[in-house]
Chain A
Amino acid sequence: MSQETVQRIELAVGCVLFGFLVIRFSQKRRISFRYTVGWLVLCGLGIFASLLIPVFTPVAEFLRLSPTVFLIAIASIGSALLFLQLTVSISGTQRRVDSLAQENALLREKLERIESPIKK
């Protein structure tokens, strides 16, 4: 077996294992459906790309990279973009949680004020 074939198999196996991990997390409700789909699409692209390494070879050679390194670079950029999107998402969620906690405190105070004359 050539070195390239071994690398293709390793890449495909890595993607499959990562896909199983994502599915396991999703089954335990640790990842929401939308992110499960996102990660599985990324895994699918990885498997697809490992099968089509010869197609990328001319581009990789043009960039003076081996096909595998080229694929890893693309995967890294994809992951970085995904992390950036997640950071944006977390920041928005943080703001919403802050606002909700404040709304809750203000409403609770209002409720206590309304209820206090009734109790008396």
Chain B
Amino acid sequence: MDRQMLLNEINYLLFVAVLAVTFLSCAAYVVFFVTQRNQLRKTARMLLLVSWCLQSGYILSRYLSIGHTPITTYHEAVFFFAWAATSAYLSFRWRYTVKNFGTFVSLLIFALLIVSALTSRQVIPLEPALRSWWLPVHAGISLIAYGFLGLAFCGALMYLLQERELKSRKLGYFFTRLPSLDSLDQLNSHCLAVGFSFLTVGMIAGILWSKQAWGTYWRWNVKEVCSLLIWFIYLVQIHQRFTVGWRGRRAALMIVAGFAVVLVTLWVVLT
């Protein structure tokens, strides 16, 4: 029992630390966005890395505390979502940099963390049917997919802002601060491709798990229909990109719309 209390205590402290560090990182990114001072960007990036470590620690401590991967309650899922987005962003940074992408992503991460902070942190015991190693595989992979789709969403927002400035021919605040349309478009393509791959694997895992838990592959419940809808939305986008070279404003709007559906689904599925 002492161990449990200690874990809970650590768990709580880690959560507060995550919120605080992410807030600082986010603030540094925003100030960097406004002032464009490079030193701030380095600080912000370091803080985000620290935040990722703390987030991982939080998930680990919660795992030790409740005995299964903490992605079943709304709080846990949204937190895991934030962790996935942070991981996706950090993994991305190693490959190539996109100017000021961090500002948008850190805002998304912080928003997700706030949502998870506002929801109940109470542990709900898992239904026996769900106790399976399929749980982390299915839910984890799906949330990682959402993380990448979240990055695509940020990229699409940046694209729309930059495109609007270029089209209106009144170059203002965002023109210098945002990267080129081409690099944003590439970013979106990349995130979409990676996100969609994870989404597909996550769905297959879900189908197999359903068979194991309930004896049938597909039950046509709300959650499954929503997931299928999301999968189709992204399938269409990927298909259009690779066949007719779909890009630009419409493609960016589709990414934003797709992500909105993801958020709604997440909310529907978990409540």
Is A bound to B?
no
Residues of B within 8 A of A (CB): none
Residue numbers of A with Cβ under 8 A of B are: none
